[in-house]
Structure 1
Amino acid sequence: MNENRKCTLQVQSETGKLEAVLVHYPGAEVENMTPRHAQRALYSDILNLSIARKEYDQLLAVLKKTSDVYEVADLLEKVLEHEHLKEDLIRKICITEQATEYIDWLMYLPASSLTKVLIEGLPLQINTLTDFLREEYYALQPLYNYYFTRDPSAVIGNNALICKMANSVRVRESLIMDAIFKSDLFFTGNVVNSYDLSQNNPLIKMEGGDILVVRDDILLIGNGMRTSTQGIDLLTREFCKTGSGKKHVIVQQLPESPESFIHLDMVFTLLDTDKAMVYKPLIMNDSPYQTVHMQIDNGKVTKISSVNSILTILRKLGVDLTPIVCGGKSDDWDQEREQWHSGANFLALAPGKVISYARNIHTLEELDKHGFEVVKAANVINSQWDIASASNCVITLEGSELPRGGGGPRCMTMPLRRTIE
């Protein structure tokens, strides 16, 4: 990260060379839960933090080979060094989480200590019978999911969208992202706050894992348990306001179960300008889940219609993608197992250069058949293998613990800037 200049936000594709990215290194917040609270924390299991960090270190080291990497905790601490920004954020958090009695105490904390508290959680001070009987340990819950930085915000063009999260346990992530982007300390671009625009309408929800920027005039959005139709309508209205001419919003309905279908990027991600990773049963087979095409012309939605599939409508719009099947083509069992372990969730570092988990061997074999060289992250990190000079490749991370949180490399990264293809 260059300390001396601001990063200009710009994302107009999923695969343009990744120049700047936002991450959060998993810390004590991940372990500040019990199996009893795992479901509330949106986890299917609890993580071994020491192993998860070793796996995350690989992701971080690969990213630093190619991109400017910004870390949430570093940015938050710098924001909190400004007294007026600190007070504004603390008040918003404490009012939202009904912990206003802690405002004065939090204001006394130095920026470094406050950063830890806001991410790792604030234990409840037991001063009343009510608190004693609450069976609650925290006044401010730990941000268990924050290493999935993709969800609380998304960059679309030069706009930082602050997403209105589906679950209350993640709302503070969005408040922190809003404070970081609005601080004007690090980034140049517009901030679009969906909480403000929605006037806190509970029906409106959206998360970054459901938002794919296919092209500057095409958004692909998942409609499922984390992103509502009302949230998509709000996002479409904002998309209409940028630029002019014709634009397209393509919406893919998602099942509410299993939980591995949580976001669109768990069943569909772009690998190259002409290739996509797909979960075949949902994206290519007949299913009861609709694909909807919303056409926009000069700032207004002019037509909404059902279409055959994401691949079909993108082809009509000039984006002709060869589908590569998560789990391989031969076995439905392999497809289901590997999708569960984020086998369709890829992050592109550049066109045709992507990151995945090593555990999804059938998916990797399918990529190899389509001309992607499979390379271990360790070989990239120790400079035995050069990303810049390589052709199509998939860099594989060890992943036994990180996937337990419910996501892959795309979930753990929030692109701030990509080169325009």
Structure 2
Amino acid sequence: MSDNKTPDTDLLAAPAARRRIFASTMLGNVVEYYDFTLYGTLAAIIATQFFPSGDPTVALLAVYVGVVLSYAIRPLGGIILGPLGDIKGRKFVLILTIALMSIGTAGIGFLPTYAAIGVTAPVLLLLSRLLQGIGASVEYTTAANFLFEHERGRRPNFIAGVLNSTASVGSFLAAGLAYVLSVAMPGDVFTSWGWRIPFLLSIPIALIGVYMRNHLSETPEFQEVVRTVAAEKVKQTPLRTALRLYWRDMLKAIGLGAGQRIGSYTIQAYFVTALITAGFPASQALLASMLTYLVGPITSIWGGQLSDKYGARRVLLTGYGLFVALTVPAFYAISNKSILLATAAVIVFTLINNLVAAPLSVAYVLSFPPEVRATAAALNFNIGTSVIGATAGLVAVWLFSVTGSNVSFGWYTTAACVVSICVAIFALPAALHRVLPAKTEVAVTA
């Protein structure tokens, strides 16, 4: 067993190399959340462009089906790409993911509308979402794994907090660009073709990301796995090993992250819709969304620092406790007619959500030994995200259509946070006890 607090600092990369590693891995996280936030932020416009205009609620639900599909495909992406990370390498998968994500995102910017090609338009839209979902399926877990392994156990929660903060960068860029264009362009121009510009800008970002990642070195732990496999002449079976030996650890990680997954979705996509349905102008809703992405990194990094210093359990219980106490009041504030009160509620919700993000990332990835880490991390992260996070949009829209209030979704989020609190108390993953799991010899079979 190796303690997270005592890394072999002699094996850490040189400062310049470490900066390249951090920059290139974090760029992929920016791309992933840029796309996710952009699609959610412009959902109301996308609904009018790619679906029949008979019933706005049905059209909006259809757009959120695209979100669900992009996440529903992620477990399959994890099954395919996760083992590649354990067999072909973390670097190989990092290059592949950023390329796939960007093709799916940019593709939306080129698609003809429903008025131009009829039912083919929503089909192509959903196919673009599926491609983006496959690429994003292992982007975050592979990036986190890449950083953790290069840092050799040094400050894992802080590193996760910094990586998580880049999600706010991607989301801020998406919401900010959408806001600027919506204000700078006449309304009919923006809804007609101006909304395509942010999607097309993913192309140059992707080219930069592929170039940077292609010049990275593989992680020391994966190189050790390669040497072991070559020396012992064994066949790697990471998927089978992960499912057979680590399914309990995967379930713990899924339950622990349930509340935060819904919270992340709410911040990145649904809050804008909730503010608009509450009667606020779209420009004000986008501005409120932008503010959340500015403040989000504060508690994301702070939560990581606190987890390394005082332990993850305390941070998780504090964050989820605040979630339970303040989520429903936050949604009541959104239903209020004051934009200042609604914005304050959204900001508080964001700060709480990001506080618990870092230790969750450590649990998703470092609960497993290097031989199966990419596979097991991809499986638990994507199953939880697909089942819990991706369905949140449909649940939110359905609850609003039934109750006429966004507060009902606040109660749904609160219930998920209670589940996460129970896991933090009774079944905290081993990685959050500051001790990594022992390396096993069963991740490969003769």
Pick 1 or 2: higher relative contact order, CA cutoff 8 A, min separation 6: 2
Q: Which has more strand, going by share of residues?
A: 1
Q: Assess same fold via TM > 0.5.
A: no
Tell me the TM-score normalised to structure 2 length. Answer: 0.23
Tell me the TM-score normalised to structure 1 length. Answer: 0.24
